[in-house]
Structure 1
């Protein structure tokens, strides 16, 4: 298959909620080609009227990097159709095998066209918030290789953003937890995100510069998961709480 044919196959799998077999092994996709397929797939969304709203980062856990045998982060693109309002009730029928994970979101206050260091990155962010990301691989059994997941836009599916607050640079050791129907199911520290969630934005500036992808004022950046993701079931209330930041939640039916 051509890269455009693979992008179309992944796009249709997402739209029709029908999983497909892994592709990278049989199609001999390189990581660079996988990112190109990702962009082709996002372009199909844009052609349907969706607008890009930012980026999500993956493999922000050192342990996850080692598990996958990689030495760098991966990233996907967010669109407005993925946005879920706080406390909104959404149907599970729009997804294949969705999972939720707690995150920290940041908002850029200016365009970024170069790699920025940790000591300066707070000058490029005006707000932060507790967030939930919903991931949903388009592959059968939620199984995939590195190239597969990148081509599939890093499983990007949905996101919920809590109340925006001013950026505090001291956020590397905050408690973060995920709750289902009022019961705590996962707990962790923000240090699980590259030792400091702000480092994720730093890494994104580097990766975006390398890929010649502009980061724009107003873009949202999901810094990466702080705990394991939890599989979603019908009629659940999903909530994330972050120390000093507050909480955010949504419902599924």
Structure 2
């Protein structure tokens, strides 16, 4: 375990210092998916020791567009902590990240525990509300290049998130139009149907994966269902917004120095 701890500490240090590191798979020949999730757990434990609190999970690579962009072929997941949450309408400090990008998400807020193999109906019965959101992804690897196990270890690249206005759980999220803008200009457009055909399928997968990891989803947890479009690289001064049919909008300003 000491070797895995060293890998987790290296990724944690890279995030804290905003200094990219070499891929872990380049340093360890047998670095596979199972090992990567073990490193991810240890990485997030470092944050918890500093006072962060677990608040849910994010699903990754849930759309063909995202798989194609990142050159992978299977769904992954990561852990969300409260220190990752950004204020809707607020400012993102660019120098807190290595090479951040933003992508629109469908967000589920849970009111009941959700664990194991469940149906779509059972998953939705555990939902308190739904919302549009934006995830900030930021690989800690040099040149934003990695293999599947690398990105899993790096908490599936999850670095921040914003949640828009909460809407009733009864809101149909099956095929919602999504438009992402930078400084008022449309840069991405898509549909929530790109998320596994229906975002609830991502929630179903989240329930199973979290339970298998021994961390079943709890009341109050947030689940980011995955991006429906490709991610947008962030630069200082940008105003980024995502508008969701039936769910409203969420936005932030990209600043420079950390506040």
What TM-score results when the alignment is normalised by the length of structure 1?
0.95
CA positional deviation for 1:64: 4.7
- Identify the residue that residue 80 of structure 2 maps to in structure 1: 78
- The 3 A distance-change label for structure 1 pair 69 and 160 is closer
- Identify the residue that residue 11 of structure 1 maps to in structure 2: 12
- Distance across 2 between alignment mates of 1:230 and 1:133: 11
- Distance across 2 between alignment mates of 1:147 and 1:12: 19
- Distance across 1 between alignment mates of 2:203 and 2:114: 11
CA positional deviation for 1:171: 1.8
- Distance across 2 between alignment mates of 1:236 and 1:155: 21
- Structure 2 matches for 1:200-211, cutoff 5 A? 200-211=202-213
- Identify the residue that residue 223 of structure 2 maps to in structure 1: 221
- The 3 A distance-change label for structure 1 pair 236 and 63 is closer
SS where residue 25 of structure 1 aligns? Answer: helix
- The 3 A distance-change label for structure 1 pair 65 and 184 is closer
Unaligned runs of 5+ in 1: none
What TM-score results when the alignment is normalised by the length of structure 2?
0.93
- Distance across 2 between alignment mates of 1:62 and 1:103: 15
- Identify the residue that residue 183 of structure 1 maps to in structure 2: 185
- Distance across 2 between alignment mates of 1:184 and 1:31: 36
The count of corresponding residues between Structure 1 and Structure 2 is 252
- The 3 A distance-change label for structure 1 pair 113 and 121 is closer
C-alpha root-mean-square deviation of aligned residues, in Å?
Answer: 1.5
- Identify the residue that residue 193 of structure 1 maps to in structure 2: 195
SS where residue 120 of structure 2 aligns? Answer: coil
CA positional deviation for 1:68: 4.2
CA positional deviation for 1:246: 0.5
- Structure 2 matches for 1:1-253, cutoff 5 A? 2-27=3-28, 28-62=30-64, 64-65=66-67, 68=71, 70=73, 72-168=74-170, 170-253=172-255
CA positional deviation for 1:6: 0.2
Structure 1 runs of 4+ with >3 Å offset: 62-70
Conservation of the 8 A alpha-carbon contact between 2:105 and 2:228: yes
Unaligned runs of 5+ in 2: none
CA positional deviation for 1:115: 1.9
- Distance across 2 between alignment mates of 1:78 and 1:233: 24
